[in-house]
Amino acid sequence: MANDKGLVLVTGGAGFIGSHLVHRLVKDGYTVRVIDNLIRSDLSRLRDLIDAGRIEFIDGDVRYEDAVGRAMQGIDYVFHEAAVCINRSMAYPKESMDINLNGSHVVFQSALDHKVKRVVFASSASVYGDPTTLPMREDGPLAPITPYCVAKLSSEYLLRFFARKGLSYNILRYFNVYGPHQKVDAYYTSVIIMFIKRLIAGQAPVIQGTGEQTMDFVHVNDIVEANMLALRSDVSGEIFNVGSGVSTSVKRLAEILIASLGKDVTPQFSNVQSVVKHRQADITKIRRLLGFRPSVPVKEGLKEVAIDITKDPDSYRF
C-alpha cells in the first residue's frame, strides 16, 4: 500500500464526513489508514475500499493510547474527525468530554511523538454559540453552550499547546454539513432528513418556531475539499471557517425540498424553539489563504440528498 504522497490517518473515518474524506484521499492517490470504534459509524461506507485492499482499517478508540499509537505508526498526516455529536453530548456529557477532549489529547500527543507532518482538526461553528452578529468570523466572540462545543474549543487550544512543541496543524470550523449518507441525528442538519421523510410519506414538513432561524448549509464535498486544501497548503497554525457563506432559513429549506420532490403541501409550524437561531460563515479567510471556493449550491445539494433518500430510505433510519 506504499505511496509517495504519504500515509494518512483518518480518525472516525467510517463516519459521515470521515468516509467521504477517505474516498477522496484514495482517489487522489494517498495511502490511507482509518481508526474508528464503529459505535456510531457504519463500516459499509468503506466496504468497497476495504474489500479492494485500498485502505487499512483499525477497529479502535481514540481514547486509548495503545490503539492510537499502533494506528499512528509511519503516519505522515492526520485528519482528526472522531467525535461524539451534539445531541449525545447533551445526554451524556461525561462521555462527550472523554471522547471529544481526552481523545483529542491522545491523538495530538501521538501525532507529536510520531513526528507527523500535519494535523487537520475538525472543529465546529458551534464554538461561537448563538452569534450576536453575522456573518461569523474566526476572530469573533466564542460562547460554547454544550459539552460538544466546549470540548471542540478546548481541543483547539490543546492543539495550539502541542504546536509550541513542534506539531503543525490547521483547524477547520465546520458549519452545517449535509450530503449523501449524512448522519440522521446531527443536531442541526437532521432537519433535512426529517423534512424529506415526511414529504416522501405525503406529509407536510413541521418547522420549529417561525422558520426564520437560519443555517449555513455546506455540502460534504466542499468540507472534503477544505480538508485537502488545509493539508496541502504551506499555511499552518490557522483556524478557518468552512461554510457556504450563505444563510438559509429553515422555512426556505422546506420550500426547496418541497419543490425538489414535486410535492403539493404547505409547511406546518410548532412552538418548539431551536437552541441557536442563526448561522452564517464569513469565509473570507479561507478564500484568501487556502483558495477555498464552495462548489455545491444549497438548492442543488439539497435536491441531491432528497433524491438519494427517495432511492434508499432505509439507509437513513433514525
Q: Is 148 a catalytic residue?
A: yes
Report CA-CA distances (Å) from 212 to 208, 251, 272, 278, 310. 9, 6, 13, 9, 27
The burial class, CB within 10 Å (0-12 / 13-18 / 19+), for 272 is: exposed
Question: 287-309: per-residue pLDDT in tens?
Answer: 999 999 999 999 999 989 888 88
Separation CA 53–CA 60 (nearest Å): 19
In the predicted model, is pLDDT for residue 185 greater than 70? no
What's the mean pLDDT in 158-165?
97
Contact between 10 and 81 (Cβ < 8 Å) = yes
Mean pLDDT is highest, among 148-162, 176-190, 263-277, for 148-162
pLDDT tens per residue across span 226-269: 999 999 999 999 999 999 999 999 999 999 999 999 999 999 99
> Taking all residues of the chain, what is their mean pLDDT, rounded to a whole number?
92
- State the average pLDDT over residues 170-175: 98
Q: Which of 128, 148, 174, 178 is catalytic?
A: 148
Confidence of residue 317 (pLDDT cuts 50, 70, 90): low
Supply 48's cell numbers.
468497497
pTM of the model: 0.93
Is pLDDT larger for residue 3 or for residue 238?
238
Please say if the pLDDT value at position 3 is more than 80. no
List the domains of the chain with CATH numbers: 7-176+219-242 (3.40.50.720), 180-216+246-279+296-316 (3.90.25.10)
